[in-house]
Amino acid sequence: MLGVLPHLRSNPIRTFLDAADRYGDLVHMKVGPYHGLLLCDPAHIRHVLQDNARNYHKSPLFDRLREVVGNGLLTSEDSFWLRQRRLAQPAFHRQRLIAMADAMVGCTGEMLERWDRIAARGETIDLVEEMMALTQTIIVRTMFSTDLGAAAEVVHRTWPIINRRIGETFWATKLERTLPMPANRRFWRALRELEAVVYQIIGERRRAGRDEPDLLSMFLSARDEETGAGMDDRQLRDEVVTMLLAGHETTSLALSWTYYLLSQHPDVERSIAGEVERVIGDRRPSFTDIERLTITRRALDESLRLYPPAWGFSRQALGDDEIGGYRLRKGWLVFTIPYVVHRRPKLWPDPERFDPGRFTPEQESVRPKFAYIPFGGGPRGCIGNQFALTEATLIIATIAQRYRIELVPDQQIRPEPLITLRPAPGIRAVLKRRESPTGRALQ
């Protein structure tokens, strides 16, 4: 009766991986009351995410996320979503990215000053926490032109509680999610605290009446074409929570996984440091450096292949459809799981091997586009992908100018699939100051 639901609850990634290994690129699954198809063929994924995207909504599994982000850009649908997407789009244009790149480097510089004190004391860092705090500062400064001050601690503390609870109850029954058990109460309390911070961001801007060239101003000044009304506080809250969460967690995990992989591939780590020295030297990194940081970018792309922070997402069919010759009925779910697609041996030979060489232009040109989906694709693809890649590349470069990150030995780190894919239980690392400004160890 429950189909694969018990397996998904205990180990979703293994369940999807085994299904694809055993049955191939298109697998029918019974998940509790739903029928679902797991898609691994890029042509089928393209069909659902792009060519016939109108026939699909986000699946009911996104309802868990709706409890937190409400009806924001990630979860809204149809004409309402399209209007919000068009409103937000200018905040991600290239000209804005160039301006934001400098803030990204600035925030990283502030972190490095703190790291200097940590390194001087010979202490280790929790890399995941550090990357989370950094990308959080960046998203707030670039999109909302503010610093959270003391409230930063609240976001930092509450989001992991919220993320964990949603991840753990993803496949749970309504009863399990609504009973006033300690775990649920902790979740509700964390959500209220996070919400208070968001209302603080909105309230401060309203009171100050400033007009910044940022996302918050775009949302605040938006007017409905017919009624002339602005966005109400609830909608603003939903959009700000969405950007705050979608805009920092994923990128920070991409960085953590990249450092995890580099620690196992010191040759690639050295090449990156050498590239940073050649391209940037000791000066402040900038947006225009990025296109020349090809080794760095390819390592990041490969890290997003092996450990896609958004490891899986799903849709629900609004009407009957046909995929690869199979009938799909209205109401059925479709699972697109980057973690699994990125490991299909047909698309990615020797899939577990870390090989940034997969991302040379020659290799990329022969691979189907939807074989690589860390940012999804089609109209609902990630609005922040260029922002994230710019941010992650600049952070890696800025850190590489001063430190090599070495993992504390003998840690058992495993991917934990909550809403996002986290390195559990965390990553402890040592900061190794480079000998010369960008490292004599480079050769």
375 sits near ligand HEM (criterion: CB under 6 A): yes
Structure tokens at 428: 């402890």
CB 378 to ligand HEM: min, Å: 8
Nearest-CA neighbor of 313 among 60, 54, 98, 42? 60
CA distance linking residue 411 with residue 98, whole number of Å: 38
Structure tokens at 415: 């991917």
| Per-residue binder mask for ligand HEM (CB under 6 A), 55-74, x = binder | ---x--------------xx
Which of 136, 158, 235, 251: binder of ligand HEM (CB under 6 A)?
251
CB 218 to ligand HEM: min, Å: 13
Gap between the terminal Cα atoms of the chain: 61
198 sits near ligand HEM (criterion: CB under 6 A): no
Contact window for ligand HEM (CB under 6 A) among 14-22, 199-207, 238-246, 323-331:
238-246
- Total of chain residues touching ligand HEM, rule CB under 6 A: 23
CB 443 to ligand HEM: min, Å: 31
Which of 134, 240, 254, 397: binder of ligand HEM (CB under 6 A)?
254
Who contacts 47 (Cβ-Cβ below 8 Å, separation ≥6)?
Answer: 323
48 sits near ligand HEM (criterion: CB under 6 A): no
Contact window for ligand HEM (CB under 6 A) among 115-123, 195-203, 223-231, 309-317:
309-317
399 sits near ligand HEM (criterion: CB under 6 A): no
- Residue 42 or 376 with smaller CB distance to ligand HEM: 376
Buried b / exposed e along 276-286 (16+ C-beta atoms within 10 A): bbebbeeeebe
Q: Which residue is nearest to ligand HEM (CB)?
A: 384
CA distance linking residue 26 with residue 29, whole number of Å: 10
User: How many CA atoms, within 13 angstroms, populate the side-chain half-sphere of residue 10?
Assistant: 3
- Residue 247 or 439 with smaller CB distance to ligand HEM: 247
CB 143 to ligand HEM: min, Å: 6
Which of 42, 376, 417, 423: binder of ligand HEM (CB under 6 A)?
376
Residues near ligand HEM, by CB under 6 A: 58, 73-74, 85, 242-243, 246-247, 250-251, 254, 309-310, 313, 374-376, 380, 382-384, 387-388
